[in-house]
Amino acid sequence: STSASQKWLISLFFSGALVAVYKDKITINWMLPLGLFILYKTFHNLPFLHFVALMSIVSFFIWVASTKLIRSIKLKYDISYGVYLYGLPVQQLLHFFCPILNVYVYIILSVLISYIIGYFSAIYIEEPAIKLSQNINNRIKKYSNINL
């Protein structure tokens, strides 16, 4: 039997998958997150409305990420792998040490901490590892006929 939390996670996963599949056909402007937020605040006692609240937050971040200002920001380091790698451990540790956090505070803290760790990982782990890999490949090419 599927629990309520499993149904919740499954619905969030498939919502994200649908957004990814139809990303070229979906247009999000500021009215969608605002409308979903107003819907949530108006009918907040209905059980499915937590999903609407989360969709409001997600659509807000997608809209912000698609603005010209944010898209014009070019980071020196690619933090995506570090965020991917450390995101789950950060979430789990945050939940373990702070189980009473509000779910929205929990999400915000998890994202911020994961971004910070991902940034430092890009600088102090990933960049040196990439340079080391390039040096090793260059030495192998120099002393052998193997093309890597």
Write out pLDDT tens, residues 100-143. 988 888 888 999 999 999 999 999 999 999 999 999 988 888 88
CA 87 to chain centre: 8
Contacting residues for 114 by C-beta, under 8 A, at least 6 apart = 82, 83, 86, 87, 90, 91
**pLDDT for residue 88:** 94
In this prediction, residues 58-73 reach a mean pLDDT of: 87
CB 102 within 8 A of CB 67: no
The Cα–Cα gap between 12 and 3 comes to 14
Tokens of 141: 């090419």
- Name the residue type at position 32: L
Q: Is the pLDDT of residue 19 over 60?
A: yes
**pLDDT for residue 15:** 79
- Name the residue type at position 5: S
Q: Which of 59, 79, 71, 64 is nearest to 16 (CA)?
A: 59
Tokens of 123: 């600088």
Q: pLDDT exceeding 90 applies to what percent of the chain?
A: 37
Q: Mean pLDDT score of the chain, rounded to an integer? A: 86
CA distances from 70 to 36, 65, 147 (A): 22, 6, 40
